[in-house]
Amino acid sequence: MAPGSRAPESGTYDAFMSYSHQNQPVARWLHQALEFFGRTGRGRASRIFRDETNLGAGGALGDEIVVGMARSRRLILLASPESAASPWVRQELDWWWERHGSYRDVVVVLVGGEIRWDPDELAALGDEAAITATDLARFGAERLYVDLRERAEGSHATPVPRWWRSSGVGSDPTTVDAMASIAATLREVPKEVLVGNEVAWQRRTRRRTQTVVSVLSAAVVLAVAGLVAAVWQANEAGQERRVATARLLSSSAMLSARENGVLARLLAVEGLRMHRDDLTLTALYDVADENPFLGARTTVDGEVTVLEGSGSGAYVLAATQGTTYLWDTVHGTTEPVDLGGERTVAADLDQDGDRIAIATDDTLRLWARSADGATAPTSIALEDVIDVGLSDDDDVVAVLRAGSGTAERPDTFELVLVDTADSRILRTTAVDGYWRWVGVDGDEVVLVGHDGTWQRRPVADPGAVVAEGGPVAPFNGWIGKASPDAGHFGFVKHSVDVNRNSQGSFDETYRQGPIPGSGTFMPRLFELSPDGSTALVGGGNEVWVTTTDTEGVPVERQLSGAGLPGLAAFLDETRIVSAHGPTLVLWDLARPAGPWSTLPYPVADGPTVGFSAHVALSDDHRSIAVVGGYDLVSHGTVDEAAGQLTGPTGGLPVWRPDGSLLLATGNEGYVVAEDGTSTRRLWTTGSEEVDPWFRALTARIVGRDLYLVDDDGVIQVRDVRDGTLRRTIDPGFDRGEDWNRPSSATNQAALSDDGSHAAVVLGDASGVALVRTSDATARMLTDTVGSVLIDGERVIVATGRDVRTFTLDGEQTSSFSMTGDYADALAVVPDTDVLARVRTDGRLVLANLTTGRQLADYAMPVPTSTTAQAPWYSSTLTVVGAALYSATVGTDVARWDLSIPEMAEAACRAAGRDLSPQEWRAVTAGDPPADLRCDRPGLDAR
């Protein structure tokens, strides 16, 4: 990359500009000047966030400014008496201080008033002070600043027309020096380099202007310039509005992702439809991973006050003050339950939702459901019901109700057992104590109190107590809850503690774990899974689920995208339903809706460090082969593994056109027999004049030719049908004593689609070479080693954090750096200019190959069965069709649907609805398109 044109390492903007709108003329001029000052080629040299340019009129200014600051590396303060008095500037500076804890990255530009670094002298300035006492204290010491007051006061602070793409700085030495000081800080480039670039650019501009003037008369120049300016202004204005709206939609999507995942997905898709750039792409990638467990949603007519679900998760019962609803989560229907206008106070459903018990203020109603629909409910008069619980066999419903206490027994409750077949009361028993929940566990009724006190009573004789325990919760500040079947009780205070309601007391905790998440919120919500293994904890605006087993490290998962619910309930160990006002949300911890899904192909561990997995898919994308553990081959369809065999050591899998699986290893080739459990040899070295140590690192079938590339840069071309060697291509690299064969085969060689070129990482660490197979000529691309990939007409070389791209003629076209440390795996996301790399901390990182900006990073499947200390170095990335596949030792193969149409379709599917015109206007303050269907045509792959 040319000097002075370094791309920002992180974030969307180099700087956020904080200013008073009374200083708007100089802010406009400075914005343009910084974006184009010191550039070396086409495009902007810096990216600055300024609200007038980046926000639509009337938008939610506060929210979008927060997004802009969050995505900026530095803050430029246009200091003046007006900015010191501005409440907007005050909020922006306070946010920056709270976010970063310092003003280290605040650049001060004085555009009015005075600055003094002594508190008394600053106070003496009065209304002329350009900064406040608060900011003086935060700076901590005298800070160098750039003085642009003269520029701000002059009438020439208006920017030049943007279509000239000029900085507008001019040749005034003072102004050039001031701009170089600011730009050097933002871009971390020496001032003298930027000044040189600016002078050179101005000279080129003058030469172009002189050439035009020498050819055209002054009148023609004016006429053409006026016409071009008019056309440009109309097109530019429309395009800028479209870009600004797209970025506003996308910024709002990222801002709302944690609170409202459905709205975030809809906004992200609309933003990408209007304009595609790094910001709108990042928004789509962000919302896909922000709330991966968010499932189905539905809305009822008011705030939910009672929430229950069937163990299968197929049905959820939700009651408001006016109506009770049954939500069929499988078919997506929500129907009201006819209760004659009465209010639901307690309810329960059985495992399949076939039996429902609902208690209103004075009646218990029972329904039996079948494939033909629900039967008419039977009912029995029961008042003051606190809780109800169905037995596992649906024969009995236990009802806990407030009893008629006396002076001698004031804390009396009643336990009523009802036959579900005919709504007949079987037994009624007075029970002492304070009870809140009731359940039926086998042939016993379980009662649980607020403090975890519990009793077990036989269904046949509820007057007898067969076991009891507790209390288990400490005093003050705790929140407790029984599991759905009342078999466990848990509470949260300083930690998450769970007791089994069949043994023990407070000193005999069954399970325990830390409070999940940030640990800084005060818990307000607590729920427990049926088996007591998982707890939901909510507080502040965070909702987490955590395992409570003391064995090993608890697994924490955040339920983001809907905010803090008022109610929640576990349906089973992995499914949860929550109520957010009138909205019901179903969560599934076992099936994350993120951008990847696993296939039934575990990658076996290799015997040594440096082992690489190999994945190959057939042309029809149906058959897959996975080589793990050097010689363990799994194969079958994408949906189901057909078999596993021990193949030749180090086999490289290739699917032949006839649908058979070929394993290339060394100078031998094997075909997996039809029985799927054995192989037959297709070729061997025999008398062929080839390197006996030939080891194929990559393979490609072109027509009837099978191309194999060795780590020596030697290429074999064989007949794919019988393995006959057609030719050997040896570029003649100097393979001396320093030549080593890599322990990993991941992206150490690559072939073009037509086999015309091969890229090889040289074994003597001298660099990466590009070989033309027609005449075996080689050209060095780099003098450093790393990993290589050929994608269409471009070659990609990654060396550590640095990425460079080349044409097939060997000409470099771009270069950029990424943050973090990376393994060798490389791939280009199908139908995009997005590069995928595996970071050594187990994240899949996506970056724009054109701009170099990092767009997203996702957690990869976690290895569970490997002894490797650094398993990510074994990872491989394979592209087939529109999908990306990853394989790492100790994990299952994962499929990533990261193409733009796939991501947008997944976002629309997860949202489950379309964006409303009101939601569009609330974000953009403008009129929406006539068609707001999320899945409407028009979102192209590129």
Summarised one tens digit per residue, pLDDT across range 443-468 is: 999 999 888 888 999 999 999 999 88
Render pLDDT for 99-114 as a digit per residue (tens, 0 to 9). Answer: 888 888 899 999 999 9
Residue showing tokens 């004049």 = 689
Render pLDDT for 313-346 as a digit per residue (tens, 0 to 9). Answer: 888 999 998 789 999 887 778 888 888 788 899 9
Lay out the sheet containing 834-839: strands in order across.
Answer: 822-828, 834-839, 843-848, 854-859
Tokens of 266: 């809809």
Other beta carbons within 10 Å of 572: 19
Report d(CA 362, CA 339) in Å as an integer.
Answer: 12
DSSP state of 590: S
Residue 835 has pLDDT above 70, yes or no: yes
Other beta carbons within 10 Å of 341: 8
Residue 762 has pLDDT above 80, yes or no: yes
Distances (CA, A) of 750 to 615, 759, 796, 864: 15, 5, 10, 30
Tokens of 278: 């790094």
pLDDT of residue 1: 34
Residue 203 has pLDDT above 60, yes or no: no
Report d(CA 330, CA 315) in Å as an integer.
Answer: 8
Pairing of β 13-18 and β 72-79: parallel
Please report the DSSP string for 207-249 in residue order.
HHHHHHHHHS-HHHHHHHHHHHHHHHHHHHHHHHHHHHHHHHH
pLDDT of residue 564: 83
- Evaluate whether 170 touches 128 at the Cβ level (below 8 Å): no
Report d(CA 70, CA 553) in Å as an integer.
Answer: 32
Report d(CA 294, CA 116) in Å as an integer.
Answer: 53
- The mean pLDDT value for 749-756 works out to 93
Length of the chain: 942
Report d(CA 63, CA 86) in Å as an integer.
Answer: 18
pLDDT of residue 279: 87
- Evaluate whether 66 touches 59 at the Cβ level (below 8 Å): no
635: left (phi over 0), alpha (psi -120 to 50) or beta: beta
Residue 883 has pLDDT above 90, yes or no: no
Render pLDDT for 188-199 as a digit per residue (tens, 0 to 9). Answer: 766 556 665 665
Render pLDDT for 237-252 as a digit per residue (tens, 0 to 9). Answer: 677 788 888 888 988 8
Report d(CA 791, CA 789) in Å as an integer.
Answer: 6
Report d(CA 661, CA 658) in Å as an integer.
Answer: 9
- The backbone torsions φ and ψ at residue 99, rounded to the nearest 5 degrees and listed phi first, read -75, -45
Other beta carbons within 10 Å of 564: 18
SS3 178: helix
Please report the DSSP string for 437-482 in residue order.
EEEEETTEEEEE-TTS-EEEEESS-TTS--EEE---S-SSS-EEEE
pLDDT of residue 347: 93
Which one of 227-241, 406-420, 430-444 scores highest in mean pLDDT? 430-444
pLDDT of residue 745: 67
Q: What is the largest CA-CA distance in the chain?
A: 112
pLDDT of residue 161: 33
Residue 162 has pLDDT above 50, yes or no: no
Residues 6+ apart with CB under 8 A from 448: 435, 436, 437, 438, 439, 454, 482, 486, 489, 501
Of residues 370, 360, 373, the one with CA closest to residue 399 = 360
Residue 514 has pLDDT above 50, yes or no: yes
Of residues 745, 753, 743, the one with CA closest to residue 788 = 745
DSSP state of 251: H
Report d(CA 802, CA 763) in Å as an integer.
Answer: 20
Confidence of residue 609 (pLDDT cuts 50, 70, 90): very low
- Evaluate whether 382 touches 399 at the Cβ level (below 8 Å): yes
Position with higher pLDDT, 872 vs 155: 872
Share above pLDDT 90 across residues of the chain, in percent, rounded to a whole number:
26
Confidence of residue 407 (pLDDT cuts 50, 70, 90): low
| Angle formed at CA 574 by CA 323 and CA 903, multiple of 5 degrees | 90
Of residues 433, 438, 462, the one with CA closest to residue 448 = 438
pTM of the predicted model, to two decimals?
Answer: 0.57
Distances (CA, A) of 839 to 820, 836, 858, 873: 7, 10, 10, 9
Residue 220 has pLDDT above 50, yes or no: no
Bond from prior residue into 600 cis (ω within 30 degrees of 0): no
Tokens of 491: 């509470």
- Evaluate whether 584 touches 577 at the Cβ level (below 8 Å): yes
Render pLDDT for 8-58 as a digit per residue (tens, 0 to 9). Answer: 333 468 889 999 988 888 888 888 788 877 665 555 677 888 876 444 334
Report d(CA 123, CA 919) in Å as an integer.
Answer: 47
Chain centroid to Cα 311, Å, comes to: 30
Report d(CA 607, CA 53) in Å as an integer.
Answer: 58
Tokens of 494: 């300083």
Of residues 614, 618, 713, the one with CA closest to residue 665 = 614
Of residues 485, 517, 480, the one with CA closest to residue 501 = 485
- The mean pLDDT value for 552-569 works out to 78
Element (H, E) at 61: helix 61-70
What's the chain's Rg over C-alpha atoms?
Answer: 34
Hey, what amino acid is at 328?
A: D
- The mean pLDDT value for 304-319 works out to 89
Chain centroid to Cα 298, Å, comes to: 24
Report d(CA 388, CA 299) in Å as an integer.
Answer: 25
pLDDT of residue 781: 94
Hey, what amino acid is at 322?
A: G
SS3 70: helix
Torsion of CA 27, 28, 29, 35, to 10 degrees: 100
Name the β-bridge partners of 257. Answer: none
- The mean pLDDT value for 350-362 works out to 89
pLDDT of residue 411: 64
Pairing of β 725-729 and β 715-719: antiparallel
pLDDT of residue 254: 80
Angle between helices 900-911 and 261-274 (to 10 degrees): 140
Query: Worst-scoring range by mean pLDDT, 143-147, 166-170, 215-219, 637-641?
Result: 215-219
Tokens of 354: 């076939």
Report d(CA 701, CA 659) in Å as an integer.
Answer: 13
Q: Calculate the average pLDDT of the chain.
A: 79
Residues 6+ apart with CB under 8 A from 321: 302, 303, 305, 343
Report d(CA 207, CA 238) in Å as an integer.
Answer: 31
Tokens of 218: 């002054």
Report d(CA 653, CA 310) in Å as an integer.
Answer: 46
pLDDT of residue 8: 37
Confidence of residue 397 (pLDDT cuts 50, 70, 90): very high
Report d(CA 640, CA 334) in Å as an integer.
Answer: 35
Residue 221 has pLDDT above 80, yes or no: no
DSSP state of 114: B
